[in-house]
Structure 1
């Protein structure tokens, strides 16, 4: 029986740049940062309060998972903003929005009342959008 989700993947254009964004702008902590033979890098981050949920910052490259054509297509879609990184929860959307703006995070929608709570929409430095929600 499955009991939880441990890892979710966010495809990024550059792992070093993404690490800087998620660590220094969003305040996430590094879970794993391992390089293995062949140039593969296993890089995860997580919110400080949720180390059990690791976000894999994966750079699509030609290799066992992707052909060169597929990796190029995924990179193009990332750059176009076609992917979402998910929903990040906060206890105070307005306060967190102000903190993240001060850290240089780009928002495409300020905190707005929705049926499910208060939501702001932002993008990471690869072009992935994410929702910041206060329920």
Structure 2
């Protein structure tokens, strides 16, 4: 039996603002947006090419979840957006208003730069060389 990590939950403040960021600034596709009743929605975004894991954008419910928005990993990088064309994707993301926390750097594993999502969660844009 093959197992994969298919979808990860990301706690957000607002469904629509999160959709706008991940779709319009990162270039992800809106895969599903289903009304679950009672103000809840099942909102999934992911790479437009259909590869890789998807994100379930889950609106915070209550103070404990709200306190995790923007700091779901205690300040560490929480996600990795892998690309086959770092320079082009980096330039495109900058043009779309994505906030990078550093200039691109070359590491032993490839090109990388840390950016923030709309809530302050840290992500790596990375082009692996091996």
* TM-score, scaled relative to structure 2: 0.86
Choose which of 67, 74, 87 in structure 2 pairs with 1:73.
67
Cα deviation, residue 77, structure 1: 3.5
1:128: how far off? Answer: 1.1
Of residues 93, 96, 101, the one that matches 1:100 is: 93
**SS of match in other structure, 1:73:** helix
**Which deviations, in whole Å up to 9, do the C-alpha atoms of 1:58-111 show, x marking residues without a partner?**
12213xxxxx3x123223746xx7364400101121221111100111100121
C-alpha separation between the residues in 1 aligned to 2:52 and 2:120?
25
**Hey, what does 1:34 align to over in structure 2?**
34
TM-score (norm 1): 0.83
RMSD (CA atoms) = 2.0
1:127 to 112, 120, 125: 120
List alignment gaps of at least 5 residues for structure 1.
63-67
Q: Note closer, same or farther for the CA distance 1:5–1:77 as it changes in structure 2 (3 Å cut).
A: closer
Q: Which residue of 1 aligns with 2:22?
A: 22
What residue is the counterpart of 2:3 in the other structure?
3
